[in-house]
Amino acid sequence: MSSREERTFDAIVVGSGISGGWAVKELCERGLKTLMLERGRPVVHRDDYPTATSDPWDFKFRGRLPSDERERNPVVARCYAYDDTTSHFFVKDEEHPYVQEKPFDWIRGYQEGGKSLIWARQGQRWSRYDFEGPARDGYGIEWPLTYDEISPWYSKVEHFTGWSGNRDGLDHLPDGEFLPPFEMNCVETHIRDKISSKYNDRYMIQGRCAHLTELREIHREQNRGLCLARNLCYRGCPYGAYFSSNSSTIPWAMRTGNLTKRTHAVVESVIYDENKGKATGVRVVDALTKEVTEYYARIIFLNAACLNTNLILLNSRSSRFPAGLGNDNGLLGRYILFHNYRGSISAQMDGFEDDYYYGRRPTQPIMPSFRNVYRQDPGVDFQGKYLIALGAARSGWQRGLNMDEVGPALKESVTRPGGWGIFMMMQGETVPSYDNHVRLSTTETDPWGIPQLVTSVDYTDNDDKLLKDFLEQGAEMLDAAGARNIRTSDSGQAPGLDIHEVGGARMGKNPESSILNRWNQIHSCKNVFVTDGAALSSVAIQNPSLTFMALTARAANFAADEMSKGNL
């Protein structure tokens, strides 16, 4: 692309992950010539999943990380999905350094498809109470849109991607456009029934996830196949059975003939034209050669994932925006939020020894919050809510390995299923805090000459109180279900391992307290849209990716409409 004309498009989308893929799909379908910029390498669906069908014995350490790699990469090695079978899809610690003013485990995937190749694939709609709660209870600003406004976009995303789940009829966890659900096993059903018989406000339901349990015509058009419940998802799914940008939205956009892709493209900043009063393009550093190139467009979508989007905006400085693009109120990079994952509970369940289950189900039962849902509950000493995920499984063998046994006796021992274990964990809502922020380092740069990001994000007293309530209530519910040997735990882990960070460029009604308006436009630069996690002004309790996708589809279609009217 030697000339400016060759480097000019209708739209530029920065990032190719879950939200970036939806941006290019929607914009290209609307006829916009779109450039997708991805800082990582190209990844072709099926062709570039090198470990997808490998067996454990194909790996030197049966899939476990070599100790020297773990020592070199202490941050990413703490991620539950990172091992020798998946490491090619994760950013190693030394590859993109950042400054931890407070401990923060920043998990990243730099490749075409981004973290959509390695996400946990769970997702739930927000309810009207999630949008209303922060302002209603005084711990956040008012959201500039309602559940009714985003609901049709949830439906559009669920229909296209394929989302399994039950229609449970809960107003605080709305139903969606679901494929058939995975089933609970006998112990999970027992726990559900015992809890529902004792509590009238606690609903244990099957998890909702982006897996194809049934093929509909829209999925056949994407050339995707059914989920086989292999539980090898983080290696990349050759069947396209779970949703990823690589198997779904990017190929769909390519079929329109309107998408141009460039990989190894590190976006340094958004270019702002002070005479025109709008952004005109982006400045890109080639990840391999370090060559700087500029690309131009009428509209720009930032979908680089929450913290990198904040980094780009903070680094987009001009005379008009000396502190970063759109940062008139000084709040850019502030109010970073995440999910509190510190609490977990384990237990055992006697009986059910004649029952087992089939496959490796990619989801588990959940319980939406029963605290502070419709109001700030009297007597509850924390703000916000928490979701509970839980499940039951049988251990691999009854007695463990007895080194005195060999031959047939050993085989018999290791193939006999053991007792039932139960695991429960929290997904707690953190409340907005001005002090939780990211900013640019004034002394350290990364390998591309861009200021390193400084993370200054921590827990608050509210998080500790919420954690305490989960541990108490979770243990009480398991006891009511007849579990024994109940053990509670606080992992003490740093923020970040939830990989649900949001905020920094939050949406709002008032430009004095937010960066984006109700259409995800920067208040003071209307042709720049932010629709990844950076846009959220609260985090609720749900896994956030479904909401990212719905906001992106909504904003992309609004942008296309505004362009056709000549407003952008």
Q: Name the residue among 500, 519, 498, 497 with its Cα closest to residue 508.
A: 519
Q: What is the pLDDT of residue 21?
A: 98
Mean pLDDT of 235-263: 98
Q: pLDDT tier at 414 (50, 70, 90 boundaries)? A: confident
Q: Give whole-number Cα distances, 362 to 104, 234, 243, 365, 549, in Å.
A: 27, 11, 13, 11, 20
Q: pLDDT tens digits, residue range 38-89? A: 999 999 999 999 999 999 999 999 999 999 999 999 999 999 999 999 999 9
DSSP string computed for 247-307: IIIHHHHHHTT-EEEE-SEEEEEEEEETTTTEEEEEEEEETTT--EEEEEEEEEEE-S-HH
Whole-angstrom distance between the N-terminal and C-terminal Cα of the chain? 25
Q: Name the residue among 473, 467, 498 with its Cα closest to residue 486.
A: 473
Q: pLDDT tens digits, residue range 298-314? A: 999 999 999 999 999 99
Domains of the chain (ranges plus CATH)? Answer: 8-122+231-338+435-449+499-564 (3.50.50.60), 181-206+342-383+385-430+459-494 (no CATH)
Q: What is the pLDDT of residue 1?
A: 65
Q: What is the pLDDT of residue 402?
A: 54
Q: What is the pLDDT of residue 270?
A: 98
Q: pLDDT tens digits, residue range 131-175? A: 999 999 999 999 999 999 999 999 999 999 999 999 999 999 999
Q: What is the pLDDT of residue 399?
A: 47
Q: pLDDT tier at 232 (50, 70, 90 boundaries)? A: very high
Mean pLDDT of 496-504: 98
Q: What is the pLDDT of residue 3?
A: 87
Q: Does position 401 have pLDDT exceeding 60, yes or no?
A: no
Q: pLDDT tens digits, residue range 322-372? A: 999 999 999 999 999 999 999 999 999 999 999 988 889 999 999 999 999
Q: Does position 400 have pLDDT exceeding 90, yes or no?
A: no
Q: What is the pLDDT of residue 398?
A: 45
Q: pLDDT tens digits, residue range 181-218? A: 999 999 999 999 999 999 999 999 999 999 999 999 99
For CA atoms 318, 15, 550, 552, the dihedral sign is positive
| Average pLDDT of the chain, as a whole number | 96
